[in-house]
């Protein structure tokens, strides 16, 4: 009997050791074709911040060291390793130092030699069960990455409180579920690109960098405390992420946005949290008016293909507004709201939604999916040459 108990103990110990960190997630700070950011959490100081990586088709491992920092007000250490010098469109294997579990990811291709697929949605995790249900629906589509449009784990502005340890626990709950659910059918981890929303940070002082915001400690950004940024995917896609008065004022980003939109890629997409053309909140709300005054003329001038908006908790598709399509409205995991009737809306319904976007040469197909995996309406097709929507 003692031998059996010892064998069981050793087996259970191996299982705990083999599954790797409970919190492990991928993202990008720079070129998605040649880099990958690996982050994970531990509960002790001094744990290694090293990742071993190799091409999936090879056997030799290369070790890359990163950095770690303690999450303010928490017994949580965030480890960050940026892998660079990778080959575009290539599958890699990696493992965290001290762990046996091997994970895989794929870099983005340099050209649209084959289809690229990604998902977009906002207002993610106010109800854990719906968040996970929608995540599984998205993962079945095998996206190359996911864009999360703010209000991600609802760590602030809710009954959960403002205490830093509660925020840290909430982020961990979200990220544990992400690791479990956001895996492709062939076992690759799905990277996330995060935007900032009103439930992710607390507004206040003139210089936001003087505050403690766990959002900026949990995720890696090219510039500290700046969630607005641009990522260019090879020679085919420019993604621009903006901050709608959460950490930085709308007006402070306008000059930067004008320069970013000059990027000569066939497809230009923008995402942010508060909607310029809301389906639920008032059209004349201050932030919405600012966006329409400061940013919308630039979207029109530079022929942005589609803008993804959030914050309203319903599904919406705008009419083409001076050639620009606005989709949203932030209802990945939150209780959906009844939308208002507005002239600029072509369709709006009280439903949870995530968008699956497929890019191929000359064409972009956007599929709005419900939490059950059904189509809300027929896919939206954008043609590159004319930038007009076909139904």
What are 148's two structure tokens?
A: 């999360």
Query: Residue 219: which CATH number?
Result: 3.60.21.10
Where among 46, 77, 106 does a domain terminate?
Answer: 106
Residue 135's contacts (CB-CB under 8 Å, 6 or more residues apart) are 177, 178, 181, 182
Predicted pLDDT at 65: 97
- Asked if omega into 362 is within 30° of 0 (cis), the reply is no
353 and 266 in a common domain: yes
Query: Residue 93: which CATH number?
Result: 2.60.40.380
233 and 332 in a common domain: yes
Of 85, 44, 47, 51, give the one whose Cα is nearest residue 66.
51
Task: Judge whether 91 and 105 are in contact, CB under 8 Å.
Answer: yes
- Bridge-based pairing of strands 325-328 and 306-310 is parallel
**Does the residue 3 lie in any domain?**
no
CA–CA distance, 257 with 366 (Å, rounded to integer): 24
Where among 86, 106, 126 does a domain terminate?
Answer: 106
**Does the residue 1 lie in any domain?**
no
The packing angle between helices 164-181 and 128-139, to 10°, is 30
CA–CA distance, 246 with 157 (Å, rounded to integer): 13
CA–CA distance, 231 with 183 (Å, rounded to integer): 22
264 and 354 in a common domain: yes
**Does the residue 14 lie in any domain?**
no
List the chain pLDDT tens, one digit each, 391 residues. Answer: 444 444 444 434 433 444 679 999 999 999 999 999 999 999 988 889 999 999 999 999 999 999 999 999 999 999 999 999 999 999 999 999 988 999 999 999 999 989 999 999 999 986 779 999 999 999 999 999 999 999 999 998 766 557 899 999 999 999 999 999 999 999 999 999 999 999 999 875 556 666 789 999 999 999 999 999 999 999 999 999 999 999 999 999 999 999 999 999 999 999 999 999 999 999 999 999 999 999 999 999 999 999 999 999 999 999 999 999 999 999 999 999 999 999 999 999 999 999 999 999 999 999 999 999 999 999 999 998 443 443 3
**Does the residue 16 lie in any domain?**
no
pLDDT in tens, 55-104: 999 999 999 999 999 999 999 999 999 999 999 999 999 999 988 999 99
69 and 185 in a common domain: no
Task: Judge whether 110 and 234 are in contact, CB under 8 Å.
Answer: yes
Q: What is the CA radius of gyration of the chain?
A: 21
Containing structural domain, residue 131: 116-390
pLDDT in tens, 348-383: 999 999 999 999 999 999 999 999 999 999 999 999
**Does the residue 5 lie in any domain?**
no
183 and 53 in a common domain: no
Where among 83, 106, 129 does a domain terminate?
Answer: 106
197 and 59 in a common domain: no
Q: What is the pTM of this model?
A: 0.92
Structural domain tally of the chain? 2
Predicted pLDDT at 11: 39
By residue count, the chain amounts to: 391
66 and 188 in a common domain: no
CB burial class (10 A; 0-12, 13-18, 19+) of residue 353? buried
**Does the residue 382 lie in any domain?**
yes
**Does the residue 159 lie in any domain?**
yes
59 and 150 in a common domain: no
144 and 89 in a common domain: no
**Does the residue 251 lie in any domain?**
yes
293 and 205 in a common domain: yes
Of 229, 226, 270, 275, give the one whose Cα is nearest residue 248.
226
184 and 62 in a common domain: no
339 and 233 in a common domain: yes
The 3-state secondary structure of 23-89 reads: CEEEECCCCCCCCEEEEEEECCCCCCCEEEEEECCCCCCEEEECEEEECCCCCCEEEEEEECCCCCC
């Amino acid at each position: 009997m003692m031998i059996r108990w010892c064998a069981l103990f050793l087996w259970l110990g191996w299982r705990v050791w083999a599954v790797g960190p409970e919190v492990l997630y991928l993202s990008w700070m720079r070129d998605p074709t040649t880099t990958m950011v690996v982050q994970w959490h531990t509960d002790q100081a001094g744990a290694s911040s090293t990742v071993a990586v190799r091409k999936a088709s090879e056997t030799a491992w290369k070790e890359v060291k990163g950095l770690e920092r303690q999450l303010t007000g928490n017994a949580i250490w965030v480890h960050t390793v940026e892998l660079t010098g990778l080959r575009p469109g290539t599958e890699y294997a990696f493992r965290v130092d001290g762990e046996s579990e091997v994970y895989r990811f794929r870099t983005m291709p340099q050209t649209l030699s084959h289809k690229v697929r990604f998902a977009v949605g906002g207002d993610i995790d106010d109800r854990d069960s719906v968040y996970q249900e929608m995540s599984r629906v998205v993962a079945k589509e095998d996206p190359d990455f996911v864009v999360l449009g703010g209000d991600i784990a609802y760590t602030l502005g809710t009954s959960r409180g403002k205490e830093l340890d509660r925020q840290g626990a909430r982020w961990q709950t979200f990220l544990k579920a992400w690791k479990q659910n956001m895996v492709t059918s062939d076992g690759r981890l799905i990277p996330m690109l995060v935007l900032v929303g009103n439930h992710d940070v607390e507004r206040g002082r003139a210089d936001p960098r003087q505050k403690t915001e766990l959002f900026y400690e949990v995720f890696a950004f090219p510039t500290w405390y700046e969630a607005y940024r641009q990522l260019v995917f090879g020679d085919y896609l420019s993604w621009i992420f903006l901050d709608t008065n959460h950490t930085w004022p709308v007006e402070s980003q306008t000059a930067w946005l004008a320069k970013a939109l000059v990027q000569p890629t066939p497809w230009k997409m923008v995402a942010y949290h508060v909607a310029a053309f809301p389906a639920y909140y008032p059209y004349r709300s201050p932030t919405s008016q600012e966006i329409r005054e400061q940013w919308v003329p630039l979207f029109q001038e530079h022929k942005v293909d589609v803008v993804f908006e959030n914050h309203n908790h319903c599904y919406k598709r705008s009419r083409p507004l001076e050639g620009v399509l606005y989709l949203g409205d932030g209802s990945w995991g939150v209780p959906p709201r009844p939308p208002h009737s507005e002239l600029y809306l072509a369709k709006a319904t009280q439903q949870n939604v995530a968008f699956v976007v497929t890019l191929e040469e000359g064409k972009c197909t956007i599929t709005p999916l419900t939490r059950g995996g059904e189509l809300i309406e027929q896919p939206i097709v954008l043609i590159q040459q004319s930038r007009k929507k076909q139904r």
